């Protein structure tokens, strides 16, 4: 029993040990985080938090399986806080009873109501918009709406990644929320008819396709523009990015579709007080700035300015839909993608 418990702990914090954050287990003054977001993005925040509070942060980083792991560990989980790159996993964790409500004006005053759970089970931290990358050469537009993307004038001109990717499901879910399922289905059919090639690749590769002349418009998240412009490992990505301009789609019916990364407190959090302090810190102006800058995202708090490069893309009106509503409609969006055989 003793040995197996030690083994579990050793395995559990293998990632943390390799990150050089190992310390004594479960002492006071610690908080344990499971993070779907990358260490390079998140560690500067933890360091700033520890410098301010003296509370040590012990983190496990993984791209997959953290919600499942929380569920398996149940009440014995060491995790206090879950950080996610997308809202879907936060909603999933909350739906499985793995989150507890957090009531704190230091958080709710900073995070707009439509970017957090109505029951305060999770909170958005950074925001990204799903926008149009328009060819500077062949499509020098300054405005567009999501609705227009389905109009015949763009036939054969649009590139995007597969419809069932969470980023696209979020957008389609927003369309369902605003226009109803039938109109959303029609829109999706029109969009499919306008595709230059079968949906494939990721958001960056759509910019590459525009650069290569395969299409004039691509649908992608804002932060990839910043990542491509600063990509030193594959400098040709800078050329892809420079060949397009970000246009924020908006119509009288809905603003620019946004999604969030975010946080929640686990239902079993052993270090509840420290978890609350960490969450309040992550919502603070100081942390919002560090966090959003690190990934070219927008702070959820509109009072905190985005980085210079992000600001250079212009301003936009984020859609007012609650991101929880978007997450709720994603299964319906997924059904529409299958019905119109979007990826075929
Ligand atoms: Fe992404």
- As a whole number of angstroms, the distance between CA 327 and CA 227 comes to 26
Does residue 75 form part of some domain?
yes
9 Cα to the center of ligand 1, angstroms: 31
Does residue 328 form part of some domain?
yes
155 and 298 inside one domain: no
Instruction: Read off the pLDDT of each residue in 6-11 and give the average, rounded to a whole number.
Output: 39
Residues 6+ apart with CB under 8 A from 270: 26, 32, 78, 80
Does residue 344 form part of some domain?
no
139 and 181 inside one domain: yes
Residue 132 β-bridge partners: 219, 247
Question: What pLDDT is stored for residue 5 in this prediction?
Answer: 40
230 Cα to the center of ligand 1, angstroms: 15
312 Cα to the center of ligand 1, angstroms: 20
Answer yes or no: pTM beyond 0.95.
no
100 and 149 inside one domain: no
- The answer to whether residue 190 scores a pLDDT higher than 80 is yes
pLDDT grade for 86, boundaries at 50, 70 and 90: confident
- As a whole number of angstroms, the distance between CA 119 and CA 102 comes to 9
18 and 140 inside one domain: no
2 Cα to the center of ligand 1, angstroms: 41
224 Cα to the center of ligand 1, angstroms: 7
Domain containing residue 23: CATH number = 3.40.190.10
E strand or H helix at 108: helix 105-108
Give the total number of structural domains in the chain. Answer: 2
Question: Is the Cα dihedral 294, 295, 299, 300 positive or negative?
Answer: negative
- As a whole number of angstroms, the distance between CA 46 and CA 31 comes to 10
Write out the residue range of the structural domain in which residue 253 sits: 128-257+315-339
149 and 238 inside one domain: yes
256 Cα to the center of ligand 1, angstroms: 17
Instruction: Read off the pLDDT of each residue in 171-188 and give the average, rounded to a whole number.
Output: 97
Q: What is the pLDDT of residues 278-300, one digit of tens each?
A: 999 999 999 999 998 899 999 99
Does residue 156 form part of some domain?
yes
159 and 283 inside one domain: no
270 and 321 inside one domain: no
195 and 56 inside one domain: no
Does residue 106 form part of some domain?
yes
Q: Is the distance from CB of 265 to CB of 276 less than 8 angstroms?
A: yes
Instruction: Read off the pLDDT of each residue in 164-172 and give the average, rounded to a whole number.
Output: 95
- The answer to whether residue 7 scores a pLDDT higher than 50 is no
- The answer to whether residue 1 scores a pLDDT higher than 70 is no
236 and 204 inside one domain: yes
- As a whole number of angstroms, the distance between CA 123 and CA 111 comes to 7
170 Cα to the center of ligand 1, angstroms: 13
189 and 334 inside one domain: yes
272 Cα to the center of ligand 1, angstroms: 30
Q: Is the distance from CB of 260 to CB of 31 less than 8 angstroms?
A: no
73 CB burial (10 A radius; 0-12, 13-18, 19+): middle
Does residue 310 form part of some domain?
no
228 Cα to the center of ligand 1, angstroms: 12
190 and 278 inside one domain: no
144 CB burial (10 A radius; 0-12, 13-18, 19+): buried
- As a whole number of angstroms, the distance between CA 289 and CA 276 comes to 19
133 Cα to the center of ligand 1, angstroms: 15
150 Cα to the center of ligand 1, angstroms: 24
- As a whole number of angstroms, the distance between CA 41 and CA 78 comes to 22
Residues 6+ apart with CB under 8 A from 50: 56, 57
Structural tokens at position 179 = 């226009």
64 Cα to the center of ligand 1, angstroms: 14
Structural tokens at position 310 = 């992000």
110 and 137 inside one domain: no
């Amino acid at each position: 029993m003793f040995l197996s418990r030690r083994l579990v702990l050793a395995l559990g914090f293998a990632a943390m040990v390799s990150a050089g954050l190992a310390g004594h287990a479960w002492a006071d003054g610690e908080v344990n985080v499971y993070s779907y977001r990358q260490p390079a993005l998140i560690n500067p925040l933890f360091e700033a938090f520890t410098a301010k509070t003296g509370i040590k942060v012990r983190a496990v980083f993984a791209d997959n399986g953290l919600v499942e792991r929380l569920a398996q560990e149940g009440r014995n989980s060491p995790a206090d806080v879950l950080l996610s790159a997308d809202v879907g996993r936060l909603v999933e964790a909350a739906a499985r009873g793995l989150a507890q409500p957090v009531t704190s004006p230091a958080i709710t005053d900073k995070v707009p109501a439509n970017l957090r759970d109505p029951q305060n089970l999770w909170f958005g931290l950074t925001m990204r918009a799903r926008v149009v990358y328009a060819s500077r050469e062949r499509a020098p537009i300054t405005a567009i709406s999501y609705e227009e993307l389905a109009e015949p004038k763009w036939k054969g001109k649009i590139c995007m990644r597969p419809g069932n990717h969470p980023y696209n499901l979020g957008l389609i879910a927003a369309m369902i929320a605003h226009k109803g399922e039938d109109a959303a289905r029609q829109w999706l059919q029109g969009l499919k008819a306008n595709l230059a090639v079968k949906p494939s690749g990721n958001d960056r590769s759509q910019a590459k396709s525009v650069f290569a002349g395969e299409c004039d418009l691509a649908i992608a998240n804002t932060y990839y523009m910043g990542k491509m412009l600063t990509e030193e490992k594959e400098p040709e990505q800078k050329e892809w990015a420079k060949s397009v301009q970000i246009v924020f789609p908006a119509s009288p019916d809905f603003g620019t579709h946004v999604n969030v990364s975010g946080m929640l407190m686990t239902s079993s959090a052993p270090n509840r007080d420290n978890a609350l302090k960490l969450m309040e810190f992550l919502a603070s102006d100081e942390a919002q700035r560090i966090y959003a800058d690190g990934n070219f995202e927008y702070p959820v708090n509109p009072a905190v300015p985005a980085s210079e490069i992000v600001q250079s893309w212009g301003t936009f009106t984020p859609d007012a839909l609650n991101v929880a509503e978007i997450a709720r409609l994603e299964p319906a969006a997924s059904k529409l993608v299958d019905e119109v055989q979007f990826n075929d």
